[in-house]
Amino acid sequence: MPINLENKSTIDEIRQRFDTDVERFSNLDTGQQTTIDAPLSMELIVKAATATNPKAECILDIGCGAGNNTVQLLRTLGRKVHCDLCDLSEPMLSRALIRVIEENYGTAIAYVGDFRTLELKEKSYDIIIAAAVFHHLRDDKDWEQTFTKVYKLLKPGGSLWISDLITHQINPCQQLMWNRYYDYLKELNGEDYAKEVFEYIDKEDSPRPLTYQLELLRQVGFSKIDVLHKNSCFATFGGIK
Strands of the chain, DSSP E: 58-62, 81-87, 106-112, 125-131, 154-165, 224-231, 234-240
Q: What is the pLDDT of residue 46?
A: 96
Q: What is the pLDDT of residue 21?
A: 61
Specify whether the CB–CB gap between 69 and 61 falls below 8 A: yes
23/117: higher pLDDT: 117
Classify strands 234-240 and 154-165 as parallel, antiparallel or unpaired.
Answer: antiparallel
Specify whether the CB–CB gap between 3 and 206 falls below 8 A: yes
pLDDT band with cut points at 50, 70 and 90 for residue 28: low
Asked whether the predicted pLDDT for residue 123 surpasses 70, the reply is yes
CATH code reported for the domain at 11-166+207-240: 3.40.50.150
pLDDT band with cut points at 50, 70 and 90 for residue 148: very high
CA distance 230 to 37: 9
Q: What is the pLDDT of residue 85?
A: 98
Mean of pLDDT values over 28-39 = 74
pLDDT band with cut points at 50, 70 and 90 for residue 27: low
Mean of pLDDT values over 52-61 = 97
Q: What percent of the chain has pLDDT over 90?
A: 82
Q: What is the pLDDT of residue 61?
A: 98
pLDDT band with cut points at 50, 70 and 90 for residue 30: very low
Asked whether the predicted pLDDT for residue 67 surpasses 60, the reply is yes
CA dihedral 168, 226, 38, 32 (to 10 degrees): -70
* Residues 191-236 pLDDT 10s: 999 999 999 899 999 999 999 999 999 999 999 999 999 999 999 9
pLDDT band with cut points at 50, 70 and 90 for residue 24: low
Query: Measured on CA atoms in the order 198, 26, 78, 86, is the torsion positive or negative?
Result: positive
Q: What rounded mean pLDDT belongs to the chain?
A: 91
